Structure 1
Amino acid sequence: MNNSFENPMPQQRIAVSALAQEERVAFYKKTYGHVAGGVLLFIFFEYLLLQSDTIVNFALSMTEGFKWLLMLGGFMFITNYAERMALKTPDKNKQYLAFGLYILAEAFIFVPMIYVAAFYMEQGTEILQQAGIVTLSLFSGLTAVVFVTKKDFSFLKTGLTIGFFIALGLIIAGTLFGFNMGLWFSVGMCLLAGGSILYQTSNLVNKYTVNDYIPAALGLFASLMLLFWYILSIFMSRD
């Protein structure tokens, strides 16, 4: 799973934090409304993908050996393309296209994990529900921390970037040399995802402008899905 920490926002534009309260509230509602819409669209895409045996078999085959690295590389490429498109263009149609493309990529890379959980694990449905509830609860709690404390978490960028590249290196090594990353790696990635949520929420307040609710939603959604991936991994490892 990949998550970008770049936020190349033009300096001359006015950040949301400098706006009147009503404008800030309206921006937050739009942003989190789009995050919620992204979650619903993810569920819809996931349902459609799981209906196709061809797609499921292909996705499962891509988890074998070096093919997983190809799949991960493709996901990272789409992620980078979608995030840059959403940030660089003022065209809302292109921003929505980028957001939708990213959600579809997330749905596809989740196919093997959700398929195994839903159809091969005794308590698969309960595991998915529990992982979803825990993810949303942690996401809400971390988001609340930023808004309540009003602290700028932009200082996390360097640590998150380093942590992400270390994690990517471990994933590549694990794939090439055939060792399981284990429970503690998933726990560490949950911490990394939590830090990403703090960082993205801080950007929501201090970096984005009033018209950037779509790229802001994309960044938050990416962090949410990263957290869900590893919480689900932890729950599945217990079954």
Structure 2
Amino acid sequence: MNLSKFDFTRLKNLLPSSLKSLSINPTSDLIREDENNDTEFYSTPRFVHHIDDRARYVLSQFYTYAIQQTPETITLDLCSSWTSHLPENFIGKVFGLGMNELELKENPSLNQGYTVQDLNQNPSLPKFSSNTFDSVICSVSIDYLIHPLKIFNEVGRILKPNGLFITSFSNRCFPTKVIRKWLYMNELQRVEWVANYFLQTDTYFNPMTIKAYSFFDGNFLPITDEHYVDPMYIVSANKK
């Protein structure tokens, strides 16, 4: 796939026209192998990329395509780190929320500052007023959230009407820290699982706007092969 010529306007939605709600059992689906405090796990900064060059490029270009950019629009980078995967020439205000202050300090995209918060300890966002953000992004972190519906409701609250929430993930993770359900699903099932978070928070999110996209060229080579590339999946929806 030649990404430099990729036409994002021709993306095909992976989801069926009528989504079915999936049951979520917090005591079995949202538990993790390592239930120790996440603050300790993420206390050491990791200045490394968790997805490869191609996946980062896809994500950056999708953000360019999907996020409205003006000097006054404001984006929240949820589960942020030392990079937001936004394009270098991104126009607009960006605020970050993440786990490691040393990483957040090094993020050049966060031109409005940042806050340190463990969403698994406190899934509310009291720092932000309702109807504040034009867009919210959560890059390759959605699989670590143990209170996803509470967080999605909070994101819905702080988004402006018709605001966009973009989540993304690949097939890499810290296996001891992702929710248990994640490890027992294939990648299409993971797409449907994240879409279900939007569906179950339809007080805020419009079910008709839930979309999912795959950026994967069918390369099923082992991860150790030099020609292997990371897949990228994006699931998004607009606030009502």
| Shared fold, TM over 0.5 | no
More strand by share: 2
Scaled by the length of structure 1, what TM-score is found? 0.24
Larger radius of gyration: 1
Compare the two structures and name the one with the higher helix fraction.
1
